Structure 1
Amino acid sequence: MSRRERAVGPGVPSSTYRLQLRPEFTLGDAARVADYLHRLGVGAVYTSPLLTAAPGSTHGYDVVDPAQVSVALGGERARRALVGWLRELGMGLVVDIVPNHMSVADAAANPWWWDVLRHGPRSRYARFFDIDWSAGPLLLPVLADDGDGGEAALGELAIADDCLTYYEHRFPLAPGSYAPGDNPGLAHERQHYRLVSWRRAGSELTYRRFFDVATLAAVRVEEPDVFAATHGEILRWAAAGDVDGLRVDHPDGLSDPGGYARRLREDFPGWIVVEKILAPDESLPASWPVDGTTGYDALREVCGLFVDPAAEGPLTRLAEERGGQTDFARVEADCRRHVATRVLGAEVRRIAALLEGADPGRARAAVVELLVAFPVYRSYLPEGAAEWGRALGGARAARPDLAAELAEIDRRVRAEPRGELARRIQQTSGMVVAKGTEDTAFYRYTRFVALNEVGGAPERFGVDSAEFHARAAARAASRPDTMTTLSTHDTKRAEDVRARLAVLSEIPEEFAAAVRRWSGRCGLSEPSLNLLAWQTLLGAWPIDSGRLRDYLTKAAKEAKLRTSWTEPDPGFEREVASWPERVFADPVLAGEVTGFAERITPAGYSNGLGQKLLQLLGPGVPDVYQGSELWDLSLVDPDNRRPVDYALREELLAKLEDGWLPEVDHSGAAKMHVVRTALRLRRDHPVEGYLPLAAQGPSARHAVAFARGRDRIHPPDVVAVATRLPLGLERAGGWRDTVLPLPVGPGRWGDLLTGREIQADPDGFAAPLLADLLDRYPVALLLRR
């Protein structure tokens, strides 16, 4: 549903700016930076979840009470104050919502979960959570386990304040289940739940989780009363006109994402985007009445444009030589299989149990192979029959001996595409893909990690201009109001890290030689982590040893090769943790790394400005992740949630407002100049449609440009121009006499970044030399007046 089709409700924002709220940066702090964001050109403030989250939450996705604003963020009064100030500034508010799950980490903090534990299946909230009550008491995996299955930990149970306690954990006692003097262990046996070893979370849980996080229990929003209870507060804000848009977290975890979207649209007429991660050739289901995704599809296309495909061979040879894995399909299948069998075994077991009469072991094996073979995160039956068929074909090819079991699954699912078997397979496939591909394979397949991004395709080495333009044009035609992004709270590395890493694709042999040399002096013993470490060091340079240590430790655990979150190898983790200091302590090595990083940084700046301009001016509603209006060299969370220095940003913005044209340097002011100019244009000047522009001349392949217009009647009057593969351009002798023909029409073109006018002939034709157009900045933003 586009802005032209929506009959009522708030308009689509011109752009959004994501703020990560937390106790250290509250709604009040958001209000204090709102004026700065308005001056930057932002159309709407876009916040992380605002509802009451688990005590100490740093992100808000662990909601415990959907009926009130988080007091830790400032509460209802602060929310209303923020809305009032945004309205005074003429800005909108977009809110992140979490319909799939709630936190149960602290049972006492979640009144619904507490009631379920106390009253079991008879609780008024028992239906709110996706619990298999037929399997017996609810299993809670909280006990320590030193190899005894948690038996010793059971001896640590106690009774205090009418609660069953296990160290800091508190759990309610069912009415009449305990009398003073009773043994805590016997009282435990009388509850509607059982405290069990944490090791059983992956194989035996009786409630559905968010991915593999046992402290996040899935909510059944497909039930009307559950939807009403979980969305009532948000919809109250919407009815009061306080919310312009909603970002829906993790729709693939829902029982019926399409049905949910239609239900939400009935109650909310504003802008809706869903955190749906699309495969490169996948489209958002047409039946969903939403405006689009949260933009990972655009991220892959924009960032891929700055990667040189010629580097694929040399970087593949480097990975093979160093002992890394280079067959992505095999790595991905192995990782998904590991996740399905060892991490999400409980979910697989629950699916297999629905195949009555089948051998349990063979049924589980068939389910695993099916989940491993999905070509997309999730099929949406019955309309996603093609993806379902491809998954079946892949499973049959991998395990022909399970043909009978797979045929039975297929028969049952096609007969009841909305039945429980079909629903649970679909819900779980997204979990397997996310945990297997994003959170495991992307840390094992480290040939070139600039491509290892959420929604990315590491096996596709970059995006050429033809693909970029075709996909942008399709977006303009089909989902003009979708969100686009380059960095989010979930990206594996920030946009400017990827922009600098893209430079390595232009000098793959030089990079390979450096890795060989450096690894000989101070390599990590695990090959894939070794490749990741050197790329990370260059991409995020300068980085302190603490940040790098924390990142590499997390990466090693996510890869699950030599260590993991559940099976740590202390010796290997000590090797990883000490690596940054060992590199920095070697003066020769540290000097070489510094020199290499400094040589590629200017080209990284060029890529960073280019990808940012194309994202901000391209089809869709562009989002700017907090702080990324300057260079952002953050790594995966929690690194990308570090505090943002808004005082510095306001100081630089004031200088830009006074007419300053900054140099392209380490300050990042040039990026802010591009962001401010593009966002203000998007806010003040409508842009529609999409027209690829082709440079002409010897260096034409190094330019990417497109034009957009205020409507479909008048000639395009906005042009974005970016430089790609800047080192190759330099080796080719620069732009020379390469020109960019601009759309013909009345008026004069001017570059908003430099203030210069572009000469045109009497008929309105202009074809500026790129050497002149891009002599100050590697990008240009042209407007016809």
Structure 2
Amino acid sequence: MRRVPHSTYRLQLNKQFTFDDAAAIASYLKDLGVTHVYCSPYLQAAPGSMHGYDVVDHEKVNEELGGDRGHRRFCERLREFGLGQVLDIVPNHMALGRRNRYWMDVLENGPSSRYASWFDIDWNSDEVKLKNKVLIPVLGDQYGKVLASGDIRVEQQGETFCLRYFDHSWPVAPGSLASIVQLAAKFLSEDTLGFIADSLARLPSPDSNDPALVQERQRDKDVIYALLGRACSEKKEVCEAISKAVDAINADVDLLDDLLNQQFYRLAYWRTADQELGYRRFFDVNTLIGLRMERQHVFDATHARILEWVQDGVLDGIRVDHPDGLRDPQQYFDRLRAKAGDAWIIGEKILEPGEWLRESWPIDGTSGYDFMNVCNSLLAHPEGLREFGAIYRDFTGRAQSFDDMVHDKKLTVEQEALGSDVNRLASLFVEICEGNRDRRDYTRAEIRRAIREVAACFSIYRTYVVAERNEITEEDRREIERAVNCAKQYRQDIDAGLFDFMGDVLSLRYRGALESEFLLRFQQFTSPVMAKGVEDTAFYCFNRMIGLNEVGGAPATDGMSVEQFHDYCAHMQATHPLSMTTLATHDTKRGDDVRARLAALTEIPARWKSALQRWGRMNAKLKTNALPDRNTEYFLYQTMIGAWSISEERLQAYMLKAVREAKEQTSWTQQNKEFEEALQAFIGQLYKSGEFIADLDALVRRVDRAGHVNSLAQTLLHFTAPGVPDTYQGGELWDYRLVDPDNRTPVDYDLRQRMLNELKSGMPASEIMRCEDTGLPKLWVVHKALMLRREHPEWFGAEATYEPLAVSGPKAAHAVAYLRAGRVATLVPRWPVKLGESWAGTTLALPEGRWTSLLTGDVIEGGRSRGNLRIQALLRDFPVALLVRNAE
């Protein structure tokens, strides 16, 4: 029998919330109704990691979380309460640094390292200076200046040596140690040191990747190091001579430079990373290096511990982070499924509007962003969204469409942060063109521009074409053709034949070994282009209604009809009924209740417009040199409405992150201090303005109740629609947190346990609603829905049915209703501001039978009067209804 969760609860583990802390809330989660705890990655991460995605050792459990012992205690506690476990895993990349022994071995031994095949490194760069070298862009200034300043030094650590730059250190290549040992031998006239130096110099070639030679080199190196260590321990004068040699090299810039040039890495100014980095990263994060997960030995080594937990029953499920970064996601999931058996497998696949998860992937679904964005669109008011567009243009003066902005932001990211990725792709395509006499005269510059343009025109994260399996779908063909045609329209100055040829390579019409390599790498490239250009840039720039600016979302949408919602749910039940659904994650831009309140704002565009104009005039005097700009000001006001009452400290930190992500006035790499200081001063003055705060507070009060209703509506949809619902830590109460790290703040579980105990004591629905401000109604919906799912998983599983329920009457567009497995009915309102207090004779066709409202305790007879029941009566005591048909 499959071990599929009926619900999950996401926990963000870190040194401030360890395995023992997680174990301590197991009883609460059980009481809440959760069936599975869903943990952030907990294999050994880089020191101080707050998220776990920077894994440095796949064989160990994170020591800062409690290590193996803490993990055992945690797992035993979960078993004690009958809770299962799902783990987030990270196959795409590892973190660099001293704790990553595999990476340290690569830096020490270069292409001859036992682990060189693990990492996606270009050892054959077109740049001669980077041949058989890895660029390490960490220096604070130009290399020569840093070297002359004395900030780079050689240090001895027993029989081994390292190069140090402040807190950074790197191993020294064995062959380069010959110069240190030779110099020490001269000081001492010691034959042993001379022999060791000669032996180091004779180690096999660094670019040898023959497995036998690699092992031989490793063996010889270990023996030589042991001899050096013995010589140091037996003769004090040997150690003194080596120390003297190290001091001499550190004192001589030329000697130190010569030693550095012998390494398998090149220390460089940090700004060089954008154009010259020779390894694939996670997006543009230099400290996260891509893994060659397509290689069986890498898969086996990195998944051994995880699969052991699956086979031992410790894990019931796995959530795979960023599968689009992998060279061949289909191959990866096939291997994982073969090893993990019937485990529940979820992929963090970001689906763009209109895109569906590949049915060929042997997994259960996505991590739920698609469902979240469906809810966002369902609750926003279409007419209000259209009016918001005009309001936004008038206030900011911006008329650029979202699609054009996305295109521009993608190009900027490709030219700057992802420039090195473009250069590697261009080198490959130059070789392809050189092998074709009809294409050989395209220049490298043209090819770079064409690659950037085609990637910028992709409307989805990536395609999944694989030449060696002759694998391409019509969906992929259409996307490639659309992107190529789009690129030709944008760049009519580039020969259309180059775009066509690139399209031929991407869609398997032109094949070869180089062509296949380009195709696979291009597909890995479009994913970070989308993520960095859209979600991490455009979503902070296009601010018409920021509640729609979520991962995989469509900020320019004018909403979704109830019929479209039903169509989405029916499709999911038919294709991926066990997909994860969510309303908030560790990556969402803002909490679900921030979005719920902002959705209510779309119902009153006229009030928003007048408030915006009033605030613009009122607060103009609070600016410094007309800063911040109007677009930032617009974004700020919406953020304050959605997250109110947010503290000034939280808002300052969030807005600084937001404007740096936007990269318009300032950025992480080029900080505009004048703008940032003006923004911080402006926010500070807003909090001191009694007139503005009172006005803001009045508008928030106008939409606050509607925001609560929207929250309860989306929460009930979340727990009863097709899929397995996940609750982000603490989100069972009103959640007005913003993007990470704001959403990693500690959760008060003692408070939640007390509130849950109060609910379970028999509090009536009317009393629960009187405690609305505390979040008690949301907790009640979460608890009752979770308990129902736990008690009757068959009503929500793969074999259950999904049927829309008919709503009739003048307010029918305000209601969403459906039936699961013929036994559970869900009824929620939307657009509560425009709905007002009356449903004006609108009715629901509830099937025959006696139904119990789990949220109010009422018993309802269905099927009478042609099955139509007044929605006004059904929602009299509680804003949403969860009805269960009683057994005959």
TM bin, normalised by shorter chain, reads over 0.9
Corresponding residue for residue 496 of structure 1: 593
Corresponding residue for residue 741 of structure 1: 845
Corresponding residue for residue 544 of structure 2: 447
Corresponding residue for residue 823 of structure 2: 717
Corresponding residue for residue 683 of structure 2: 580
Check whether the contact 1:550–1:577 (CA below 8 A) recurs between aligned residues: no
Q: For residue 701 of structure 1, report the CA deviation from its aligned partner.
A: 1.5
Q: 1:385 aligns with which of 446, 468, 477?
A: 477
Check whether the contact 1:319–1:326 (CA below 8 A) recurs between aligned residues: no
Q: 1:45 aligns with which of 24, 37, 43?
A: 37
Check whether the contact 2:120–2:290 (CA below 8 A) recurs between aligned residues: yes
Quote the sequence identity (%).
44
**2:119 aligned partner, one-letter code:** F
**SS of structure 2 residue aligned to 1:490:** coil
CA distance in 2, matches of 1:47, 1:350: 36
Corresponding residue for residue 242 of structure 2: none
Corresponding residue for residue 741 of structure 2: 638
CA distance in 1, matches of 2:866, 2:389: 46
Check whether the contact 2:385–2:559 (CA below 8 A) recurs between aligned residues: no
Corresponding residue for residue 756 of structure 1: 858
**Rg comparison, structure with higher value:** 2
Check whether the contact 1:158–1:164 (CA below 8 A) recurs between aligned residues: yes
Matching of residue 684 in structure 1 with residue 791 in structure 2: yes
Alignment map for 1:78-157 (pairs within 5 Å): 78-104=70-96, 107-135=97-125, 136=131, 137-145=133-141, 149-155=142-148, 156-157=151-152
The count of residues paired between Structure 1 and Structure 2 equals 761
**2:340 aligned partner, one-letter code:** F
Check whether the contact 1:326–1:445 (CA below 8 A) recurs between aligned residues: no
Check whether the contact 1:66–1:233 (CA below 8 A) recurs between aligned residues: yes
Q: 2:69 aligns with which of 66, 69, 77?
A: 77
Q: 1:669 aligns with which of 758, 766, 776?
A: 776
CA distance in 2, matches of 1:689, 1:743: 15
- 1:402-434 residue CA offsets vs partner (Å, 9 max, x unmatched): 312222222333134982100111000011001
CA distance in 1, matches of 2:46, 2:168: 14
- 1:202-239 residue CA offsets vs partner (Å, 9 max, x unmatched): 11100010000000000011000000111111011111
CA distance in 1, matches of 2:137, 2:811: 61
- 1:552-571 residue CA offsets vs partner (Å, 9 max, x unmatched): 11111111111011111000
**1:671 aligned partner, one-letter code:** K
Describe the shift of the 1:764–1:41 C-alpha distance in structure 2 as closer, same or farther (beyond 3 A).
farther
CA distance in 2, matches of 1:55, 1:175: 27
Q: With structure 2 as the length reference, what TM-score do the two structures score?
A: 0.84
Q: For residue 525 of structure 1, report the CA deviation from its aligned partner.
A: 2.9
Corresponding residue for residue 218 of structure 1: 290
**SS of structure 1 residue aligned to 2:687:** helix
CA distance in 2, matches of 1:150, 1:558: 29
**2:772 aligned partner, one-letter code:** D
Describe the shift of the 1:325–1:71 C-alpha distance in structure 2 as closer, same or farther (beyond 3 A).
farther
- 1:124-165 residue CA offsets vs partner (Å, 9 max, x unmatched): 0111000000122110110113xxx44322332111232101
Q: For residue 764 of structure 1, report the CA deviation from its aligned partner.
A: 10
- 1:94-140 residue CA offsets vs partner (Å, 9 max, x unmatched): 00000000011xx2111000000000000001110000001221101
Q: 1:287 aligns with which of 352, 355, 360?
A: 360
Q: For residue 695 of structure 1, report the CA deviation from its aligned partner.
A: 1.6
Corresponding residue for residue 313 of structure 1: 386
Q: For residue 472 of structure 1, report the CA deviation from its aligned partner.
A: 0.6
Check whether the contact 1:157–1:185 (CA below 8 A) recurs between aligned residues: no
Corresponding residue for residue 335 of structure 1: 409
Matching of residue 475 in structure 1 with residue 572 in structure 2: yes
Q: For residue 767 of structure 1, report the CA deviation from its aligned partner.
A: 2.9
**SS of structure 1 residue aligned to 2:734:** coil
CA distance in 2, matches of 1:588, 1:520: 12
Corresponding residue for residue 261 of structure 2: 189
Corresponding residue for residue 712 of structure 1: none
CA distance in 2, matches of 1:23, 1:669: 30
Q: For residue 87 of structure 1, report the CA deviation from its aligned partner.
A: 2.3
Matching of residue 778 in structure 1 with residue 876 in structure 2: no
Q: Structure 1 stretch 394-403 or stretch 638-647: which is displaced more?
A: 394-403
**2:261 aligned partner, one-letter code:** E
Q: 1:406 aligns with which of 471, 495, 499?
A: 499
CA distance in 2, matches of 1:184, 1:473: 67
**SS of structure 2 residue aligned to 1:207:** coil
Corresponding residue for residue 513 of structure 1: 610
CA distance in 2, matches of 1:608, 1:307: 12
CA distance in 2, matches of 1:139, 1:408: 32
Check whether the contact 1:258–1:288 (CA below 8 A) recurs between aligned residues: yes
Q: For residue 65 of structure 1, report the CA deviation from its aligned partner.
A: 0.5
Check whether the contact 1:370–1:392 (CA below 8 A) recurs between aligned residues: yes
Check whether the contact 2:91–2:320 (CA below 8 A) recurs between aligned residues: yes
Corresponding residue for residue 371 of structure 1: 455
Corresponding residue for residue 362 of structure 1: 446
Q: Structure 1 stretch 567-576 or stretch 375-384: which is displaced more?
A: 375-384
CA distance in 2, matches of 1:287, 1:764: 47
Corresponding residue for residue 3 of structure 1: none
Q: Which runs of 5+ in 2 are unaligned?
A: 126-130, 181-244, 250-254, 435-441, 466-471, 621-626
**1:151 aligned partner, one-letter code:** G
Q: 2:759 aligns with which of 638, 648, 656?
A: 656
- 1:599-635 residue CA offsets vs partner (Å, 9 max, x unmatched): 2111100000000100110000011110000000011
**SS of structure 1 residue aligned to 2:318:** strand
Q: Which runs of 5+ in 1 are unaligned?
A: 1-7, 710-715
Check whether the contact 2:359–2:575 (CA below 8 A) recurs between aligned residues: no
CA distance in 1, matches of 2:373, 2:25: 30
Check whether the contact 2:464–2:523 (CA below 8 A) recurs between aligned residues: yes
Describe the shift of the 1:150–1:570 C-alpha distance in structure 2 as closer, same or farther (beyond 3 A).
farther
**SS of structure 1 residue aligned to 2:87:** strand
Corresponding residue for residue 159 of structure 1: 154
**2:448 aligned partner, one-letter code:** R
- 1:266-317 residue CA offsets vs partner (Å, 9 max, x unmatched): 1002000000000111111121000000011111111211100001332111
Describe the shift of the 1:647–1:416 C-alpha distance in structure 2 as closer, same or farther (beyond 3 A).
farther
Corresponding residue for residue 297 of structure 1: 370
- 1:354-383 residue CA offsets vs partner (Å, 9 max, x unmatched): 122341100100000010000111011122
Coordinate RMSD, CA, aligned? 1.5
CA distance in 2, matches of 1:40, 1:184: 62
Check whether the contact 2:43–2:55 (CA below 8 A) recurs between aligned residues: yes
Q: For residue 85 of structure 1, report the CA deviation from its aligned partner.
A: 2.3
Matching of residue 697 in structure 1 with residue 809 in structure 2: yes
Check whether the contact 1:309–1:461 (CA below 8 A) recurs between aligned residues: yes
Q: Structure 1 stretch 414-423 or stretch 667-676: which is displaced more?
A: 414-423
CA distance in 1, matches of 2:27, 2:377: 34
Q: For residue 759 of structure 1, report the CA deviation from its aligned partner.
A: 2.7
CA distance in 2, matches of 1:529, 1:201: 29
Matching of residue 396 in structure 1 with residue 458 in structure 2: no
CA distance in 2, matches of 1:525, 1:51: 43
Check whether the contact 1:316–1:326 (CA below 8 A) recurs between aligned residues: no
Q: Structure 1 stretch 429-438 or stretch 376-385: which is displaced more?
A: 376-385
**SS of structure 1 residue aligned to 2:537:** helix
Check whether the contact 2:628–2:679 (CA below 8 A) recurs between aligned residues: no
Q: Structure 1 stretch 89-98 or stretch 655-664: which is displaced more?
A: 655-664
Corresponding residue for residue 592 of structure 1: 695
Q: 2:13 aligns with which of 11, 21, 44?
A: 21
